[in-house]
Amino acid sequence: MTSGFSHSSSVNKPCPHSKCQDCLGRIQRYIVTKLGEDWLFLVLLGFTMALISWSMDYASAKSLQAYKWMYVELKGNVPLQYLAWVTYPIILIVFSSLFCHLVAPQAIGSGIPELKTILRGVVLKEYLTLKAFVAKVIGLTASLGSGMPLGKEGPFVHIASICAAVLSRVLSIFTGVYEVKLTPDLLVCACAVGVGTCFAAPVGGVLFSIEVTSTYFAVRNYWRGYFAATFSAFIFRVLSVWNKDSVTITALFRTNFRMEFPFDLQELPAFAVIGISCGFLGAFFVYLNRQVVLFMRRPTALTRFLTKHRLIYPAVVTLIIATFTFPPGFGQFMAGELMPRECINSLFDNFTWTKIWRSASPPGLGRSAMWLHPHVSVFIILLLFFIMKFWMSAVSTTMPIPSGAFMPVFILGAAFGRLVGEIMATLFPNGILFDGIVYRILPGGYAVIGAAAMTGAVTHTVSTAVICFELTGQISHILPMMVAVILANMVAQGLQPSLYDSIIQVKKLPYLPELGFGHISKYNIFVEDIMVRKVKFLSPQSTYRELDLLLQSTTLKTFPLVDSKESMILLGSIERCELQAACDWWLSAERRVYNQGQGISSPGSKVSWECFTFIDEEEQEENKEKVRPKWIHRGAAHSIVCSVATVYHCDITTDATFDWPLQIKAWEEAEMDKPIDIDHIRIDPSPFQLVERTSLHKTHTLFSLLGLSHAYVTSIGKLVGVVALKEVTRHLTPNCSLCAADWAAHRSGQMQR
Amino acid sequence: MTSGFSHSSSVNKPCPHSKCQDCLGRIQRYIVTKLGEDWLFLVLLGFTMALISWSMDYASAKSLQAYKWMYVELKGNVPLQYLAWVTYPIILIVFSSLFCHLVAPQAIGSGIPELKTILRGVVLKEYLTLKAFVAKVIGLTASLGSGMPLGKEGPFVHIASICAAVLSRVLSIFTGVYEVKLTPDLLVCACAVGVGTCFAAPVGGVLFSIEVTSTYFAVRNYWRGYFAATFSAFIFRVLSVWNKDSVTITALFRTNFRMEFPFDLQELPAFAVIGISCGFLGAFFVYLNRQVVLFMRRPTALTRFLTKHRLIYPAVVTLIIATFTFPPGFGQFMAGELMPRECINSLFDNFTWTKIWRSASPPGLGRSAMWLHPHVSVFIILLLFFIMKFWMSAVSTTMPIPSGAFMPVFILGAAFGRLVGEIMATLFPNGILFDGIVYRILPGGYAVIGAAAMTGAVTHTVSTAVICFELTGQISHILPMMVAVILANMVAQGLQPSLYDSIIQVKKLPYLPELGFGHISKYNIFVEDIMVRKVKFLSPQSTYRELDLLLQSTTLKTFPLVDSKESMILLGSIERCELQAACDWWLSAERRVYNQGQGISSPGSKVSWECFTFIDEEEQEENKEKVRPKWIHRGAAHSIVCSVATVYHCDITTDATFDWPLQIKAWEEAEMDKPIDIDHIRIDPSPFQLVERTSLHKTHTLFSLLGLSHAYVTSIGKLVGVVALKEVTRHLTPNCSLCAADWAAHRSGQMQR
């Protein structure tokens, strides 16, 4: 690859083959340039993710097969059977937990909340490492292979993002100069690929990832996302055809409902009931999940014990869940033998269970037979399944392993929908009469609608409907499904944050509420109404005393720098840490010693100040890590100078031991009244500015779009106020000021770290 | 309504019923507040649009029925039949053209390009009037009823937008204080509703409207769009059930392909061929359409004649098209009798025409029999249909009537796909052998894929695939369709702009190219690489002479204002017209006369300057119209003062007639050297600023997101350069500098108007 560059540099040499070489060099350069382009990146990403998804599915399916085989082989010996039924998932879950804990604790959980935060502009670099990738892939395969109610879609978004991060680094090495930066654009595509490969649902994947991760969305990414997700879903399905799992490319959970008359208008109230109920249930699921997490975080003796012995919690949870689902035990009343995928397939089937219950099972019933208990009604079984799986799903997703909640919630929704469908089929045993033809009710269709509505309510998205179409391969129920999903969303959005926002709140990640329904009045609130008018500022004329007072009296992270107190023209902003460091240095012992010993300027100060360069706002985020080592370096230099100074001190103190604390005091007092040395402080030259008549709506847009934490309000260059995220948040959600405060606290914590 | 407010103001009165009244007032206020919320707006919008869409469909269907009836009744008398066949559409098209011309010429054409421009931030107010609404609805109904190859989806987007604009005004009247502003947010939703009701495709509608109209998209609008589009599609379909057009809510063009094995992997190359060919054909369609428009705009004797007699062009085009499609004539070789909707239904059918040709027609063939000519092969018919309809569609969409190109292109794509499908069915007459079972090829599936790919290529969108699913009610072909659409897009995007962008270019509307594929290198170009460093600026110290020189030497629309030449701190920007006016006023005769007569300050200047207030950037756009009358007002004031001055003059000139031109000259020279009166010029206090290290990518984002035309580059408050749309455009598309230049010319033209 590098030879290409030497060729290109030798273009101007007057050799006979120069033309040919020139051409060759050009071609190579062209290839290198093309390698840096994003379509190749997207193809590679799609291909890799398809391979990973398929392999993971394959491995976890084999694991579940082994689990089932073991259980069946031990038939007759119930205690041994129980032991096998319980031990197998415990081993896998504990292994997953241990592996993640040892390799990369960032791999724990869903990954979507973190991705959302990263796309909000916050750098969480440790989340996109190769280590996290390995931990997530291995851990997730083990989790899925255990048969616990866990999903793979959240982790898959995370895996795809890491994959994108690693790929961009690899491609950068290959292409040399043309660096493929991991931009938010590519991360959004990665999310789409993640969801797309997980369900073989490219359209739904793109939409879901948009809804879940973004506030503002560039339409060009939508195109890229489609390209990558389609390619990836295509490869994923081709792999399964190649492996003879299926005869051709079809949907993952294909349904076979009649198409000529999928439903009647008279069934719509039932669909609406499913939507509204799913809204409440979804909100309750989010609440329950958060309560479990919060309970585990409360400092009690039990939780302290569990934190110390990390593996006990997942092991106990798995033990309890496996015990409940043990088929010869309580499991027989809740179809406990069915693994997640089997649940979906059977809930979506074409039979009406209440009709075939206690009669000869029709051909093609398959695993659906599990729902038909000889003595217990189908309703009881479905209800028990729903209730048990509800808490199981809410609890199991809190285990410290890589796991998603989408699939478990999907199953819950399907079970609820099926329950309503079976009730409807009992209420109208002869179906619905229309135009002289009697159409029977399809409980499977209700299950699909329930699944879409429930996942929509929990994740606050409407694209779950699209995912459902792609998963089932049927679109005949589109309108009632959309209605149910929208109703579920309306209810759930009014009651609880989405599951991902809930996790963001619990984990105290940066958070700005969305502009939801009924926020149109925000157009009539302006920046001048919400801005803080008493702005603390600095000017080149400010003294160190003023600076010190400012630092001690406030906890602000940045301070505006104005031209002068009179003109108030905004020049830029300075970070708190910069000011603190400048202040500390100004009054430091080594500067004093050098000053008193050698004059005004000290060589030491030059060394330490040279480390700083003027860096663009955009680069700052990326360079934070680079800057930090410099800080350490400066600290080290500091301590070296200090020790020198201490030696020096001894020399001085021998002359005048008695009055040196007084002398220092006097020197410090004198120094404090000098104006601050503005040329040696790093300034952000273009802090974000608004004018007084900018609407709150536009402010929210800019804040969420550009990932701002604050903006200065200027009027013809003059600083007149400041608006922070806090003000915006407070005026958007009067009852949610807690979030903003939390956020600010977290942010400051992060800064100080 | 107002009584609610008087109640609320009487809360503090100590009357016995105050509590009850208070409560009542609160409820009423609550209702009024709720009325101002957007969900009600969206419901109303959805409902109205569903009604309009359904009525329009009903009316145009009745019109087509009458057309057909007339044609059938005259069977046996070919000349009379021809006369009826030709006259009916001519009357309707000419009526439509005349109506639009008389009522609102803005109603002509698709409407999507204009909406795209409006959402880009440009105000085209005359496009959203009630007049345009009436013209569009009536004109479109007549156009659709003529049976010409015209669509309704573009105009529907326009109609929905006007509907939103009118509704927001009506709601504002009802709710009083709570004004419902027509925000871009609501316009985007209106677009979604437009497409959604047109095809009863809510998901596809939302996605299509996003892709077509936006560059950046707020996810909250996506939610709103879904809500409104679903509601509207639902009502639209319920209306048709209520009218007994269909038994239940189903897809508009429902297909009935087998689901267990929709296609084999071996058919994929054929799908890919459809995709790539459709890419080329789509690009050619856009090219052809533009060439026709450009030809019509060229100033030749013919076009001048046609512009003068506006109705001749549509009449002649309709005559030619109707002549070609006349069923007993050439029409028999191109299924000329089929109306657009019948074409789609028959092209999507489940038969294999090459198999049933020349044999007894199977039951349920219906209108598809039109494709089977007793003597001519199906291939020839399909090919002729495709070729003839291709130019017909390209030409008929240029007629001065409300019309869309989506449906005609959809039909073209379906015909092309069907052609490929029939060829495949002939090549593999026994179908494809897989796993011992022979699966026959489904030409209808090919037609669906072709339709999606062709529309995708012409509009540069991928959501046409989703629209196809919703239109057909089947999703089994999702992956090959996505692949075909993406391939078609890749080819078409490389060759031509989208049809809408093409119209934008032809109409010279503001335009900023998208960041397409392979633009990742734009991350490595920074503002400092593209900015113009020699910035023309003004400072409070600038003299009128400098200002005059500046205005004469440049054509810039805005000038930056800096603190002083030395500090270069950016204070704001001033529009050219403001400066020109200030300059003109400074040297005006009335100011001179007042100055010389009464001293330095003149009362006239005060009157005229008082009209100006400092207005926020955001409000400027809205207030442009309000400002303009003020200009006129000022002009009027000016002329009044002028006439006074002239009288005055006469008084003066009687004293010293001989030297007054010299005196004026001297006065002007003296005045020119005075510094500009900055306090009396309207300044934009916060022009958009960038820093030198902002990437081109981010710049593009900000420009397209905030609808900027230029931005100043600052470094710690100092003005160091300027970046205009021109620079951004040039560096994005080195070969498309023409567009930018065009745009700039257009913009300046608009400004000067």
CA–CA min distance B475, chain A (Å): 6
Residue with tokens 């779009």: A705
pTM for the structure as a whole:
0.74
**What 3 state SS string does A15-44 have?**
CCCHHHHHHHHHHHHHHHHHHCCHHHHHHH
The lowest-confidence range among A460-474, A595-609, B170-184, B685-699 is A595-609
User: Any chain B CB within 8 A of the CB of A249?
Assistant: yes
* Residue pLDDT, tens place only, A438-475: 778 888 899 999 999 999 999 999 889 989 888 888 88
Q: Which residues in chain A are contacts of B705 at CB distance < 8 A?
A: 216, 705
Picking from A226, A233, A694, the nearest residue to B462 by CB comes out as: A226
User: Any chain A CB within 8 A of the CB of B43?
Assistant: no
The pLDDT value given to residue B629: 33
Q: Which of B449, B485, B415 is nearest to B211 (CA)?
A: B485
Q: CB distance B483–A180 less than 8 Å? A: no
How many other C-beta atoms lie within 10 A of the C-beta of residue A749?
A: 10
3-class state of residue A179 by DSSP: coil
Model confidence at B297: pLDDT above 50: yes
- Residue range A556-584: mean pLDDT, rounded: 83
Model confidence at B578: pLDDT above 70: yes
For an interface test with B, give the residue of A45, A179, A249 to mutate (most B CBs within 10 A).
A249
* Residue pLDDT, tens place only, B12-23: 444 556 677 777
Q: How confident is the model at residue A589 (pLDDT cuts 50, 70, 90)?
A: confident
Q: Which residue of B has its CA nearest to A527?
A: B616
Give the C-alpha separation, B249 to A173, whole Å: 56
What is chain B's alpha carbon radius of gyration, rounded to the nearest angstrom?
A: 32
The lowest-confidence range among A115-129, A135-149, A572-586 is A115-129
Which helix (H) or strand (E) covers residue A715, if one does? strand A710-715
Q: Which residue of B has its CA nearest to A482?
A: B230
Tokens of A688: 């974000």
The pLDDT value given to residue A706: 67
Q: Which of A136, A53, A94, A145 is nearest to A340 (CA)?
A: A145
User: Any chain B CB within 8 A of the CB of A330?
Assistant: no
Picking from B41, B261, B693, the nearest residue to A618 by CB comes out as: B693
Give whichever of A38-47, B170-179, B637-646 has the largest mean pLDDT: A38-47
3-class state of residue B690 by DSSP: strand
For an interface test with B, give the residue of A37, A186, A199, A226 to mutate (most B CBs within 10 A).
A226
Give whichever of A299-308, A586-595, B442-451 has the largest mean pLDDT: B442-451
**CA dihedral angle for residue A389, residue A395, residue A400, residue A405, rounded to 10 degrees:** 50
Q: With contact defined as beta carbons under 8 Å apart, do B475 and A475 qualify?
A: yes
Give the C-alpha separation, A638 to A607, whole Å: 10
The pLDDT value given to residue A485: 93
* Residue pLDDT, tens place only, A681-716: 887 766 777 777 777 777 777 776 666 778 888 777
Picking from B183, B470, B563, the nearest residue to A569 by CB comes out as: B563
Tokens of A457: 């309510």
Q: Which residue of B has its CA nearest to A476?
A: B473
Picking from B247, B482, B716, the nearest residue to A261 by CB comes out as: B247
- Residue range B291-316: mean pLDDT, rounded: 87
The pLDDT value given to residue A604: 41
Q: Which residues in chain B are contacts of A249 at CB distance < 8 A?
A: 263, 265, 479-480
CA–CA min distance B631, chain A (Å): 23
What is the residue-wise DSSP string for B278-320? HHHHHHHHHHHHHHHHHHHHS--HHHHHHHHSTTHHHHHHHHH
- Residue range B200-220: mean pLDDT, rounded: 82
User: Any chain A CB within 8 A of the CB of B478?
Assistant: yes
Higher pLDDT, residue A99 or B8: A99
CB proximity list for A415: less than 8 A, separation 6 or greater? A343, A347, A382, A385, A386, A389, A447, A450
Give the C-alpha separation, A451 to A81, whole Å: 32
What is the residue-wise DSSP string for B646-687? HHHHHHHHHH--TTHHHHHHHHHHHHHTSBP-GGGS--BS--
User: Any chain B CB within 8 A of the CB of A717?
Assistant: yes
- Residue range B384-396: mean pLDDT, rounded: 93
Q: How confident is the model at residue B531 (pLDDT cuts 50, 70, 90)?
A: confident
Q: CB distance A517–B215 less than 8 Å? A: no
Give the C-alpha separation, A313 to A455, whole Å: 27
Which DSSP category does A675 fall into?
A: B
Model confidence at B467: pLDDT above 70: yes
List the end-to-end C-alpha distance of chain B, in Å, as a whole number.
42
Q: How confident is the model at residue B181 (pLDDT cuts 50, 70, 90)?
A: low
The pLDDT value given to residue B584: 83
Q: What is the mean pLDDT of chain B?
A: 78
Q: Which of A466, A447, A37 is nearest to A209 (CA)?
A: A466
Q: With contact defined as beta carbons under 8 Å apart, do B117 and B509 qualify?
A: yes
How many other C-beta atoms lie within 10 A of the C-beta of residue A187?
A: 23
Picking from B262, B520, B616, the nearest residue to A693 by CB comes out as: B616
The lowest-confidence range among B9-13, B68-72, B214-218 is B9-13
3-class state of residue B591 by DSSP: helix
- Residue range B397-425: mean pLDDT, rounded: 92
Q: Which of A457, A517, A445 is nearest to A481 (CA)?
A: A445
List the 692-711 stretch of B: residues with Cβ below 8 A of A. 692-695, 697-698, 701, 705
**Ramachandran class of B77: left when φ > 0, alpha when ψ lies in -120 to 50, beta otherwise:** beta
Which helix (H) or strand (E) covers residue B572, if one does? strand B570-575
Give the C-alpha separation, B443 to A167, whole Å: 41
How many other C-beta atoms lie within 10 A of the C-beta of residue A44?
A: 17
**Cα–Cα distance list, A318 to A60, A292, A313, A322, A647 (Å):** 17, 15, 9, 6, 63
User: Any chain B CB within 8 A of the CB of A180?
Assistant: yes
Model confidence at B223: pLDDT above 70: yes
CA–CA min distance B350, chain A (Å): 14
CA–CA min distance B106, chain A (Å): 28
CA–CA min distance A596, chain B (Å): 34
Q: CB distance B38–A717 less than 8 Å? A: no
CB proximity list for B58: less than 8 A, separation 6 or greater? B243
Higher pLDDT, residue B646 or A361: A361
Return phi, psi of residue A517, to 5°.
-65, 150
Give the C-alpha separation, B285 to B463, whole Å: 19
Inter-axis angle of helices B112-119 and B202-213, to 10 degrees?
60
Q: With contact defined as beta carbons under 8 Å apart, do B491 and B684 qualify?
A: no
Inter-chain CB pairs, A–B, below 8 Å:
275
Q: Which residues in chain A are contacts of B230 at CB distance < 8 A?
A: 479, 482-483, 486
Give the C-alpha separation, B537 to B516, whole Å: 35
CA–CA min distance B36, chain A (Å): 8
Model confidence at B733: pLDDT above 70: no
Picking from B183, B260, B616, the nearest residue to A523 by CB comes out as: B183
Give whichever of B76-80, B384-388, B436-440, B498-502 has the largest mean pLDDT: B384-388
- Residue range A619-636: mean pLDDT, rounded: 36
* Residue pLDDT, tens place only, B592-648: 777 766 544 444 443 333 333 333 333 334 433 333 333 333 333 333 333 333 334
3-class state of residue B559 by DSSP: strand
Q: CB distance A38–B517 less than 8 Å? A: yes
Model confidence at A611: pLDDT above 70: no
The pLDDT value given to residue A291: 92
Tokens of A331: 């499991």
Tokens of A210: 């948009």
CA–CA min distance A119, chain B (Å): 14
Model confidence at B515: pLDDT above 60: no
How many other C-beta atoms lie within 10 A of the C-beta of residue B366?
A: 13
**Ramachandran class of B305: left when φ > 0, alpha when ψ lies in -120 to 50, beta otherwise:** alpha
Q: Which of A537, A558, A554, A534 is nearest to A683 (CA)?
A: A558
Give the C-alpha separation, A637 to A609, whole Å: 11
